[in-house]
Structures are given as C-alpha cells and as structure tokens.
Amino acid sequence: MRKLATLSFLVLFLFTGCKNSVNEADEYFTKQFDEVIGDDIIFFTSTINFLYYANPTNYWYPEENTYQDILDDKFRRGYRGLERLSNEINTIPDGDQKVSDAIKLLQKEISIAQQDIKEKQSAIENINGLGFFGGMSGIMDLSRALNSKEEQEKMEEKRRMPKEVEQSLYNLTKVLFNKYNTLVLKMNKLENGAFELTKPTFEEKSKIRNNLKILTKKKLNLEYNSSDTIIRDKMTKDLFDFYDKGFKLSAN
C-alpha cells in the first residue's frame, strides 16, 4: 500500500508540478525580456539600415571617380549624398547623450561641407562662363599637365568625402556599435539570470540560449519597420555570432 501511494505521488508530481530548466527559463524570459532589453531592441532595429550602409562611398562618389569626374559633375552627386546622410541620421533615436552628441557633430560637418560645395559650384559656373579652355575641365587638364606627380596625388585626394564629415560619420558608427554591445551585455544578463534560477545542465544551457535568440529575433522582427528583411536578418545573425563568440557556454 505504501509503494502504491509513493507511485501515485510521483505520477501526480510529474504531470502537475514538474518543470524542466528550459521551460522555467522560457517563463523567466517572457516575464523579464521587455523590462531588461526592450528599449535596446527598439534602438537596434531603428539603426540597422543606417549602420549597414555607413560607408562614405554610399554618400559620396564611387572610388573609381577622379576629382575631375567630380568637377564635371559639379559636386551634384556629393551634395545629394550628404543631404541623404543628413536625413538618415535624423531618424536615429538620440536619447543617449553620446549618440546625440555624435549626431549633432556630424550634422554640423555636413552643413559646413554643403556650404563649401555651393561655393565650389558657384566658382565652377563662373569659370565655365569665361570659356577658359573648356571651362573647369580644361583648367583641370592643364593643371594635370603642368603639376608634379605629388601635386596630382594631392588633387586626387580631394575626390574623397570631406575629411571632417568622414571622421564624424566614423565616430557616430563607433558610438552606435558601442550601443549594440550594451544590447549583447543585457542578453547575457538575461541568460545568466535564467541559469541561476534553473541550474541547467550543459545541454539545457544550449537550448536556453537558443530560445533566448528565438525570442530576441521575434522581438526584433516585430519592431523593425523597413521592408529590407535581408539586411535585418544579416545584422541579427551578426549580433548572435558576436554574442556566441563573446560568451561561450561552459559546463560549470
């Protein structure tokens, strides 16, 4: 009779009171996720596209363009690229002071560069109006013929995005990537909280981490507003790869 009672209690426990570590961790994630990591998910999704395209050539001229090509274009493509860059950084949330400062600095340098371009465009129009050897292109051809190789190299350096804009763009991307590191650290905080609560085996740890990634990806997809899901998925994969590399699972 005693054995029967013990067996009945065991069956009742298995079906009503037993939760494995993975299920307990899932419940923990559901309760804690938005509070711990919700704002960071929103920030991540709002900056994915910007960071993916944060290369100076996407907002200036291709590498193969020479300075004369730029002069022939009268800086029009460069001006439009800077305008597009200005519009895109305005979409970045600036609640963080370092992000806000980096955005303001880049906006300032874009404005200075655009004013400089307008002055160059005005000068080009004036020279072209004089009909001097085919206008600005003629002057450039004459300059290339007369100047030394060193001077020509300096001229080619001018074809790059304005230095101050490029440096400020790099600074902003660096600040944003540091924010991504904050997201990774908070993911680890959630994971460690689940491990401390459930005391999982190594195999269960792997399942818990995978479930955390699934939940994170689900939240990212819900918050992401762009139609470019290829970029979203690639940046999400990079985030998870970075996480796995930085926080390797152990049996302890």
Do residues 66 and 159 touch, judged by C-beta distance below 8 A? yes
pLDDT band at 55 (very low <50, low <70, confident <90, very high): very high
C-alpha dihedral over 109, 166, 220, 201, to 10 degrees?
A: -130
The pLDDT value given to residue 132: 42
- Give the pLDDT band (50/70/90) at residue 158: confident
Candidates 186, 226, 182; CA nearest to 91 is 226
At 24, is the pLDDT very low, low, confident or very high (cuts 50, 70, 90)? very high
Query: Is residue 130 pLDDT above 70, yes or no?
Result: no
At residue 147, the pLDDT reads 54
Per-domain boundaries in the chain: 19-51+175-246, 63-161
- Per DSSP, 56 falls in state G
- What is the pLDDT at residue 18? 52
| Burial status of residue 193 (CB atoms within 10 A of its CB: 0-12, 13-18, 19 or more) | middle
pLDDT score at 128 = 58
Is residue 102 a contact partner of residue 171, using CB atoms and an 8 Å limit?
A: yes
Q: What does the pLDDT read at residue 183?
A: 94
Mean pLDDT of all residues belonging to the chain: 84
Q: Would you state the pLDDT for residue 160?
A: 87
* Chain centre to alpha carbon of residue 248: 24
Amino acid in the structure at residue 238: D
Q: Report whether 177 contacts 48 (CB < 8 A).
A: no
